[in-house]
Amino acid sequence: MNASPSQPHPAEWTETQGLLSAEERDLPAGRHQFHKEQMMARIREDLRTTAVAPARNSPSTAPARPRPFLRRAVLLPALACALAAAVVGGVALTGGGDAGTSSADGPALTTRIGAADARGAQPLLDHIALAAADTSETTVRADQFLYIASKVASTYPKTVGDKTTIVTQKLHSRQVWQSPDGRDGWLIEPGNTGKDGITLAGPNPARSAYDRLAKLPTDPAALLRRIYQESDAVRDPEVPRDQAAFVAIGDLLTESYPPAKLTPALFKAAARIPGVVAVNDAVDAVGRHGVAVARLDEQNGERTEWIFDKKTYAFLGERSVQVGPSDTFKKGTVTFTIAITRRAVVDAMKEVPGEEG
């Protein structure tokens, strides 16, 4: 699961993308839960138009902490709204992005749609699980932090006046630190947070916390039952149950640090979800080609793909591609993409591996 790759130019991207513009955001009403970044765009609009004040969340509807994850596809609408309120209570947006970059949105990100093979999913996941099992266990002390660096971008509808266009935000960096118990953390995402980032600390442990993951069952059948139970508790009723479980496992492959004993079980559990397929070619956010394990959400025609190196089966990243009919996106549109560029255990918050402090 460790990844520290080079970053080639994104060969399949149509053009360079721009950062999300908070000034011109008016997302259409509807099933925004199917599009991760659309919900985040609504949060950013709330941040732009709402005075910053201490948030008071109802314990029955939401955790009292902003989550470091990009994905919101399975959240109940009430939980999503409460989450937005939590962010409003603790974050002030900056209007710009990385130094020297434009905040303008760019053309929609598109890609070639890889061929899906239902029979190939099981053997592919078997190979991936074997490769994941062939790793040593990382020792994580209670006073350390799990560090994940990534490159992300997303495509969404933007309305200016009476005209709506499909645009893509610029590929940008994202860094997350999380304590093993999930009660402390930090997020730096230029353009979406201030240059110094925002705290992820809170009284309730993050669901992705290393300590919590270490307690999950490693038997694939038992693990999958737990995943269904937990995703059922928070998913939007319109999101198919099997898709929500697939999404939940994908979250644990991206911005978390699953223990070595758990990782193979996650892949074996995924193989038991109906509708999972293998995809012969997929490209991550920084242009690395690989094979993918994927599942189509038949409700919205969007396929979620976990991308792996073709030779080593190392996890590279994830993307969501429109492959079915949609009133919003053309086929081949990449609605979300993330490439994991580094995972590490560090001794202090905001410590970056390889940098001298």
Task: State pLDDT tens for residues 322-349.
Answer: 999 899 999 999 999 999 999 999 999 9
Give the model's pLDDT for residue 170.
Answer: 87
Give the model's pLDDT for residue 137.
Answer: 78
Give the model's pLDDT for residue 13.
Answer: 37
| pLDDT tier, 245 (very low <50, low <70, confident <90, very high otherwise) | very high
Q: Which helix (H) or strand (E) holds 88?
A: helix 77-90
Q: What is the mean pLDDT of the chain?
A: 77
Give the model's pLDDT for residue 92.
Answer: 29
Give the model's pLDDT for residue 78.
Answer: 34
- In DSSP terms, 283 is beta-bridged to 289
Q: What is the arithmetic mean of pLDDT over 22-51?
A: 35
| Res. 154: pLDDT tops 70 | yes
Q: CB-based burial of residue 101 (10 Å sphere; 0-12 exposed, 13-18 middle, 19+ buried)?
A: middle
Give the model's pLDDT for residue 72.
Answer: 38
Q: What percentage of residues in the chain have a pLDDT greater than 70?
A: 70
Read off the tokens for 284.
């991550």
Most confident of 13-27, 40-54, 230-244: 230-244
Q: For 39-84, what is each residue's pLDDT tens digit? A: 444 443 333 333 333 333 333 333 322 333 444 334 333 333 333 3
| Res. 271: pLDDT tops 50 | yes
Whole-model pTM: value is 0.75
| pLDDT tier, 177 (very low <50, low <70, confident <90, very high otherwise) | very high
| Res. 99: pLDDT tops 50 | no
Domain spans of the chain, in order of start: 22-346
CA distance 169 to 16: 9
Poorest-pLDDT segment among 48-52, 199-203, 211-215? 48-52
| Res. 93: pLDDT tops 60 | no
| pLDDT tier, 354 (very low <50, low <70, confident <90, very high otherwise) | confident
CA distance 348 to 357: 10
Closest CA to 33 of 229, 247, 219: 247
- The number of residues making up the chain comes to 357
Give the model's pLDDT for residue 135.
Answer: 80
Q: What is the arithmetic mean of pLDDT over 78-100?
A: 33
C-beta separation of 33 from 236 below 8 A:
yes
Sign of the Cα torsion 300, 72, 173, 133 reads negative
Closest CA to 185 of 226, 147, 141, 137: 147
- Residue that has been written with the tokens 């919900």 in this structure: 39
Give the model's pLDDT for residue 17.
Answer: 33
| pLDDT tier, 356 (very low <50, low <70, confident <90, very high otherwise) | low
Q: Using the 8-state DSSP alphabet, how is residue 110 labeled?
A: B
